[in-house]
Amino acid sequence: MQDVATEAAKRRTFAIISHPDAGKTTLTEKLLYYGGAIQMAGTVKGRKSKVHATSDWMAMEQERGISVTSSVMQFPYSGRLLNLLDTPGHGDFSEDTYRTLTAVDSALMVIDVAKGVEERTVQLMNVCRMRATPITTFINKLDREGREPMELLDEVESVLQIRCTPATWPLGMGGSFRGVYHFGLDRVRLFADSEVIEGIDNPRLDELFPHEVDEWREQIELVGEACEPFDREAYLAGALTPVYFGSAVNDFGIRELLDDFVEHAPPPRSRDAGREVSAEEGAFTGFVFKIQANMDPQHRDRLAFLRVCSGRFEPGMKLHQVRTGKAVKIPRATTFLASDRSHTETAAPGDIIGIHNRGTISIGDTFSEGEALHFTGIPDFAPELFRRVVLRDPMRMKALQKGLEQLCEEGATQLFRPLLGSDWIVGAVGSLQFDVTAYRLRHEYGVECTFEGVQVYTARWVGCDDPKMLERFRERNEAALAYDGTGALAYLAPNRANLELVQERWPDIAFTATRDR
Ligand code: G4P
């Protein structure tokens, strides 16, 4: 391996964000294909069983003899090494999805041309905005009738609060989709046969599309005048997104997207850990953003996903776990190279490694070579779904408590204990989290429990610089307050109106939707 700075400069660590069905999986497939990770184009997973995506990927690995895991996919492209972090969607949508976004340096946003900006995209963009993550936009399914491109750009700008600059422009749409025009290269690629035509004024276009070309030229001129040019600084600051058009399933418009993406997207960036840690530093640092439990009762270990921030990881390394103050020897870590099984297990900044452990590692843990650093910005996110825990056997109370506390620490679920009464409430951002929690409580802690609905709309962590004020707030709102798994105070709002009202009444109390660990 070359020196750390050179290796870091090659990495592009990113995630794809989208609403379900916009085409994230299809685009992932094509990106892997371009990276040489999949030798054949085509479907890599059964779409009808999205919840079982992981096993589908494993089946694919076996079939094709290549190593692909759905969590992290590393593949080379154009002299760079891309790390694509999967953001669980559909039923397996969870807090992991949000937290994965804290471990990337940029994101690709996929939007369905007919549907525009959808709810999940708004939620994911809110998370990206917390760290001013640079966003590249791909508007998908141009082979179908959809909305006017200009209207979509307006919607992205107003709903997602990010300026748009089209990098490509579609020539027609649906049945009359003919290709895309690349502004920077002044080049057209045709949909029918991928023919490349240099220059929008090229007579070849008049020859092929005598009835359409004038309108395209006019449109492109208008768009070129109306939209601001690409500004990399603004892109890197998360203030502006370049927009590409295409059709993932037809593998169209993706080359343009990917070629620009590897040029513009940032390499591993500096991160705050009490001090700024630069990716070029020689000493190893990293943080854990996700923990995956093995559902197989025979193998009760957990895989901690660690994002390398600086230095390099070598198998056998002894790392310092800052929270516990312990030295942990890591004999081997899982690395994720999609194209090659016989890779070395060294990792550089931007890479993700998986560390096996038996519950000793928590989300948010920082690892270093000894320095007492703590990476910030790997928060808990206010749950969007809440259930009351109903224990079948009251004798198992202690085991339940232990189980819930541990699952909470792992980030599998969140636990709230109201100040009044003896209820326990679990919170999640995706409903599958409840099933996983119930399953693991049964199998790992021997606790049978069910969950029932509860009148909670959302949670906000509360705080105030003035302890007296906080005490007053607490006294007046006891019925709606709870301690979370770490003992932090949270307000459980029964509905949106109530939350707004209480925020209005208590202007000095801070209500936050995330809480740093
Ligand atoms: P997701 O991961 O974001 O949920 O979306 P996914 O890629 O699974 O795509 C959702 C559906 O949209 C799939 O159809 C997929 O084939 C289709 N799709 C993706 N890209 C395009 C495109 O460019 N044009 C058109 N017309 N469709 C596209 P499906 O019916 O759910 O699955 P399948 O039976 O086609 O595999």
Gap between the Cα atoms of 23 and 25, Å rounded: 6
Which pair of structure tokens corresponds to residue 402? 């232990």
Is 23 labeled as ligand-binding?
A: yes
Is 319 labeled as ligand-binding?
A: no
Is the CB of 168 inside a 6 Å radius of any atom of ligand 1? no
Length of the chain: 517
Q: How confident is the model at residue 47 (pLDDT cuts 50, 70, 90)?
A: very low
Asked if 13 contacts 350 with a C-beta cutoff of 8 angstroms, the reply is yes
Give the pLDDT confidence of 62-86 residue by residue, as tens digits: 443 333 345 788 889 999 999 999 8
Give distance in angstroms: CA of 27 to centre of ligand 1.
9
Q: How confident is the model at residue 358 (pLDDT cuts 50, 70, 90)?
A: confident
Ligand 1 atom 26: residue of nearest CA: 141
Is the CB of 140 inside a 6 Å radius of any atom of ligand 1? yes
In sequence order, what are the residues at sequence separation of 6 or more whose Cβ sits closer than 8 angstroms to the Cβ of residue 494?
A: 455, 456, 457, 480
Gap between the Cα atoms of 59 and 56, Å rounded: 5
Q: How confident is the model at residue 1 (pLDDT cuts 50, 70, 90)?
A: low
Q: How high is the pLDDT of residue 303?
A: 84
Q: How high is the pLDDT of residue 359?
A: 84
Which pair of structure tokens corresponds to residue 475? 């006294």
Ligand 1 atom 19: residue of nearest CA: 23
Give distance in angstroms: CA of 21 to centre of ligand 1.
6
Is residue 343's pLDDT more than 50? no
Q: Which helix (H) or strand (E) holds 483?
A: strand 481-484
Quote the percentage of the chain above a pLDDT of 90.
Answer: 74
Closest ligand 1 atom to 140 CA: 23
Is 142 labeled as ligand-binding?
A: yes
Give the pLDDT confidence of 281-294 residue by residue, as tens digits: 999 999 999 988 76
Give distance in angstroms: CA of 209 to centre of ligand 1.
29
What mean pLDDT, rounded, does the chain reach? 89
Gap between the Cα atoms of 431 and 427, Å rounded: 9
Give the pLDDT confidence of 10-40 residue by residue, as tens digits: 999 999 999 999 999 999 989 988 987 654 3
Give distance in angstroms: CA of 50 to centre of ligand 1.
12
Which pair of structure tokens corresponds to residue 178? 């003919």
The neighbouring-strand residues paired with 292 are 303
Range of lowest pLDDT (21-35, 120-134, 326-340, 438-452) = 326-340
Per DSSP bridges, beta strands 11-18 and 80-85 are: parallel
Q: How confident is the model at residue 53 (pLDDT cuts 50, 70, 90)?
A: very low
Give distance in angstroms: CA of 26 to centre of ligand 1.
6
Average pLDDT over residues 381-407: 92
Distances (CA, A) of 389 to 392, 432, 443, 513: 10, 15, 17, 23
Is 81 labeled as ligand-binding?
A: no
Give the number of other CB atoms < 10 A from CB of residue 173: 20
Gap between the Cα atoms of 414 and 98, Å rounded: 14
Q: How high is the pLDDT of residue 502?
A: 98
Q: How high is the pLDDT of residue 336?
A: 67
Which of 249, 252, 257 for a ligand 1 pocket mutation test, highest count of atoms within 8 Å of Cβ? 249
Gap between the Cα atoms of 315 and 214, Å rounded: 61
Q: How confident is the model at residue 320 (pLDDT cuts 50, 70, 90)?
A: very high
Give distance in angstroms: CA of 268 to centre of ligand 1.
31
Looking at residue 454, the DSSP 8-state letter turns out to be -
Give distance in angstroms: CA of 334 to centre of ligand 1.
30
Is residue 387's pLDDT more than 90? yes
In sequence order, what are the residues at sequence separation of 6 or more whose Cβ sits closer than 8 angstroms to the Cβ of residue 38?
A: 29, 32, 44, 64, 66, 68, 338
Closest ligand 1 atom to 26 CA: 7
Is the CB of 247 inside a 6 Å radius of any atom of ligand 1? yes
Average pLDDT over residues 94-118: 96
Q: How high is the pLDDT of residue 44?
A: 42
Gap between the Cα atoms of 431 and 439, Å rounded: 13
Q: Which amino acid is at 187?
A: R
Q: How high is the pLDDT of residue 270?
A: 96
Which pair of structure tokens corresponds to residue 454? 């509860």
Q: pTM to 2 decimals?
A: 0.91
Greatest extent of the chain over all pairs of C-alpha atoms, in Å: 82
In sequence order, what are the residues at sequence separation of 6 or more whose Cβ sits closer than 8 angstroms to the Cβ of residue 60?
A: 44, 45, 66, 68
Which of 21, 144, 254 for a ligand 1 pocket mutation test, highest count of atoms within 8 Å of Cβ? 21
Ligand 1 atom 24: residue of nearest CA: 141
Q: How high is the pLDDT of residue 371?
A: 97
Average pLDDT over residues 111-133: 96
Is 19 labeled as ligand-binding?
A: yes
Q: Both ends of the chain: CA-CA distance in Å?
A: 34
Ligand 1 atom 36: residue of nearest CA: 47
Gap between the Cα atoms of 24 and 87, Å rounded: 10
Is residue 221's pLDDT more than 70? yes
Asked if 160 contacts 233 with a C-beta cutoff of 8 angstroms, the reply is no
Closest ligand 1 atom to 248 CA: 23
Asked if 358 contacts 300 with a C-beta cutoff of 8 angstroms, the reply is yes
Asked if 151 contacts 185 with a C-beta cutoff of 8 angstroms, the reply is no
Which pair of structure tokens corresponds to residue 114? 């007919």
Gap between the Cα atoms of 257 and 237, Å rounded: 19
Give distance in angstroms: CA of 427 to centre of ligand 1.
31
Asked if 462 contacts 511 with a C-beta cutoff of 8 angstroms, the reply is yes
Asked if 256 contacts 34 with a C-beta cutoff of 8 angstroms, the reply is no
Rounded (to 5) percent helix, strand, coil in the chain = 30, 30, 40
Give the pLDDT confidence of 296-313 residue by residue, as tens digits: 656 677 888 999 999 999
Give distance in angstroms: CA of 154 to centre of ligand 1.
24
Asked if 157 contacts 164 with a C-beta cutoff of 8 angstroms, the reply is yes
Sign of CA dihedral 172, 117, 130, 323: negative
Gap between the Cα atoms of 290 and 69, Å rounded: 15
Closest ligand 1 atom to 252 CA: 23
Q: How high is the pLDDT of residue 89?
A: 76
Q: How confident is the model at residue 132 (pLDDT cuts 50, 70, 90)?
A: very high
Strand ranges in 208-247 using DSSP code E only, listed in sequence order: 240-245
Average pLDDT over residues 118-145: 96
Ligand 1 atom 17: residue of nearest CA: 23
Quote the percentage of the chain above a pLDDT of 70.
Answer: 90
Looking at residue 175, the DSSP 8-state letter turns out to be G
Range of lowest pLDDT (34-48, 186-200, 353-367) = 34-48
